Amino acid sequence: MRLLIANRGEIARRIIRAARVEGCVTIAVFSDADADTQHVLEADMAVRLGPGPAAESYLDSAKVLAAAVQSAATAIHPGYGFLAENAEFAQAVVDAGLTWVGPSPAAMRALGDKVSARRVAAEQGVPTLLGADERDGPVDWSAAAAEIGFPVLVKAAAGGGGRGMRVVHQASELDDAMQAARREAQSSFADGRLLLERFVERARHIEVQVLADNHGAVVHLYERECSVQRRRQKVWEEAPAPGLSDAMRDRLGAWSVQLAQAVSYSGAGTVEFLVDGDNAFFIEMNTRIQVEHPVTEAVTGIDLVRWQIRVALDEPLSMSQQDIQLTGHAIEVRLVSEDPMADWRPTTGTLVRVDLPQTDGVRVDAWVHDGTVISPHYDSLLGKVIAVGRDRSHARRRLARALRTAWVTGVANNLAFLRALTSHPDVVAGQVHTRWLESDSGLPSPPPEDPVFAARLATALSASLSRRHGAAPAGWRVFGRATQEDVWRVGAASLTATYTAASDGWDITVGDTTSRVHVLKTQAGGAVVRVDSRQVLVRFVSAPTVGDPVDDAIVDDALLYLHWGDGEAVLSRMPRLPEPLTALGDTDGCIAPTPGTVRAVHVEVGDEVEAGQALVTLESMKVEQTLTASAAGVVSAVRVSVDDAVAQGERLVTIDES
C-alpha cells in the first residue's frame, strides 16, 4: 500500500508510524505554512498542496486527489478534521480507484452526519435528545427552540471536534448563535447545516470506541470519559470512565455495536453519549479516528491506527468481544496554543523551547519543536501527553510528574493550566461534567507568578554567566566589590535587583529583601541554583529579536525564558538609558489580539457604542472571538471588512471616547 496521509501535525506523524509497521510507503501532503514541519520530513515522500489557508490546501479535495495521482498513491488516510468526515470526498477517493482508509461513504452519510445519525439511532431504539433539524425542509428555529425548551444547543450537522456549536440560554440569543455556528461550520467542514438539541447542563460526556471489519464483525473497546471541556473542546480524556457502573458500561457498548451493525460500518469509529445519572442519550458518531484514541490503545493493547489500515486491506478482525479486556488506566491531556487566563484566546508565534520528555508510563504525541511557527491557519493543538498507570491514581501522578518537567515557551499555551488541573479536588475525585470548566466549581489556575524569585534567578544567572564568559558584569569596578543593578520587566511588573558578589555567590536585593543566591552548576540550557535554603533546577533560553536563541548566556535586547520546578517566567532586562515612550493617542477601539480573518463587523462609522458592545468577530485557529469596546464612545473609523485577513496588533476599529 502506498498511503497518502491527507492531514498534518501530530496525527499525520502518528499515521506514519503505524503505516511503517504495516509495511506501507508513506506520502505526506503539506501547505506552504507546513513545508518544514516534522510530518513532511518523516514521510517517505511529500507533495505540496498550496498556500497556508486550509481552504486552499488541506480542505481542497481536488488538490488532495491530484497529489495522490502525482505520488502514485493507492490509498488515502484522512486522519481527523479537514476531510476526514466528508462522505463526498470519501466517495471521490473510491471513484478514483483508491482505497479509503475509513468506513464506506454510505456508512459515513448515515452516521457521520448528525442529522442522519439521530434518525438511525431513533430507528434502532437508542435514546436521543429532543431536537430539530433541516432534513425535511426549512425550520422555524425560534418555534423549534421554544418547543424544545431553553437552554438549547446549536450544532453543526457535519464534522466534529466541537466546531460549530453554541449554547443558547434565551430566545434573544438564538439568531446570533446560529449565525456564528453556521459560519464556523462552513469554515471548518464546508457545510453550514445546523440542528438544535436540548442542552443538558451537568451531563458527563462518555464515548465508546468501536472497531469493525468488512466481514460483519463489530466489537467495542469500552469507553472514554471526555467531560472536561471548554467551548465543547476536550481538555482531559481518560479510559475507563471513573465510577461508571457495569450496567451503564454494558448498555453503552451494546448500543454502539448495534449502531455500527445497522449501517455495515467498518474501521474505527466513536459513538458519543451524554450520561445524566441513570439516563444516557446518543448525541453523535465520529466516523474516524479520534484525538483521544491513545487512552483506549493503552488500556486494551490494541493499535487502532494499524487496525484501520488492516481493515482497509480487507483483513478480518483477529479478536472477539470476549478477547478485549481493560487493564490499568490512562489519561490524556491536550496541549494547545491558547491562553486559559485570557478566555482561551488562540495564540500564534514562534516556539522558543519545546521540551516534552517521555518517561516510564508516559507517551507524547506532538508535532512541534524548538523554532516551530504556530500559524493562524489551523487549530491550536500542539500535542498530547498520555500517562498510563496500574490505576487512576497512579496514572494521574505520572501525568502530574510529566507535566511538571515539561516546558513549552515562546507562545502562550495551557501547560501551566494542565499542571494545576492534575491536582484539582474535583478532578482527583472524578466529579466533573461538561460544564465544569465554565462553572464556579473552583476553576484550576496556575500558581501565581513569582516575579521576585524570577528576578533573583535572572540576576544570578546573568552575573554568573557573564563571569564565565570572561566579561565583566554590568557595573564592574576596579576597586573592590561594587553594588550593581539590573532592572527586569516580568509581566506587568518592573523590578530592580541590586547585587554584590559574595564568596559563594551573590547577595541580591529585590524590594526590601536580600537573598544569598549561589549558581552551583551551569550547563547548556540549565543551571542548579540555590536561593537561600531553596535549591532548584533552572532551565533557561535567551531569545534575541534577531538571530537564534542561545542557552549559555543572557543576551542583551532579548527575552529571557526561565523554568524551574513549579514555576516559569518571561523576563526582559530594561536598558539603562531607555528610549522615551511614544504616546498611543487618545482613541480607543479594538486591536487584533492574534492574526486571523474577519467574520463579522458589528458597527459602522458614526455608531454610538457602550463599553462591552461587540465590534468585530475574528476567526483565528478555527475559533471565533468577538472583540468588544473597552469604553463608550462614537465609532470614528472601521478599518476592515468581512473576510479580510488581519495581522496581530492591527487596529480594526477606532472609537472616540465620550
Q: What is the pLDDT of residue 70?
A: 97
Percentage above 70 pLDDT, the chain: 93
List alpha helices for 524-636, DSSP H: none
Task: Give the integer Cα–Cα distance in Å for 115 and 192.
Answer: 13
Q: What is the pLDDT of residue 441?
A: 62
- Global pTM? 0.85
Q: DSSP of 286-324, one letter per residue?
A: E-S--TTHHHHHHHH---HHHHHHHHHTTPPPS--GGG-
Q: What is the pLDDT of residue 37?
A: 95
Assign 3-class secondary structure to 378-406. CCCEEEEEEEEECCHHHHHHHHHHHHHHC
Helix, strand, coil % in the chain, rounded to nearest 5 = 25, 35, 40
Q: E-assigned strands of 36-100?
A: 45-50, 75-77, 99-100
Q: Could you say which DSSP state residue 180 is in?
A: H
- Three cell numbers at 275? 450520561
Which residues does the chain have with pLDDT short of 70?
Answer: 159-162, 440-443, 446-447, 467-481, 576-589, 621-623, 658
Task: Give the integer Cα–Cα distance in Å for 444 and 453.
Answer: 23
Measure Cα distances from 427 to 169, 294, 296, 393, 419 in Å.
27, 20, 19, 11, 12
Q: What is the pLDDT of residue 492?
A: 75
Q: Tens digits of per-residue pLDDT, 108-124?
A: 999 988 889 999 999 99
Q: What is the pLDDT of residue 606?
A: 87
Which of 273, 218, 224, 228 lies closest to 251, judged by CA? 273
- Tell me the one-letter amino acid at 300: T
- Three cell numbers at 485? 543593578
Task: Give the integer Cα–Cα distance in Å for 566 and 461.
Answer: 18
What are the residues whose beta carbons fall under 8 Å from the beta carbon of 621, sequence distance 6 or more? 337, 338, 346, 348, 376, 377, 378, 379, 380, 594, 596
Cβ atoms 251, 223 nearer than 8 A? no
Cβ atoms 22, 46 nearer than 8 A? no
What are the structural domains, with CATH classification, of the chain? 2-101 (3.40.50.20), 130-198 (3.30.1490.20), 204-438 (3.30.470.20), 451-573 (3.30.700), 587-657 (2.40.50.100)
Cβ atoms 324, 374 nearer than 8 A? no
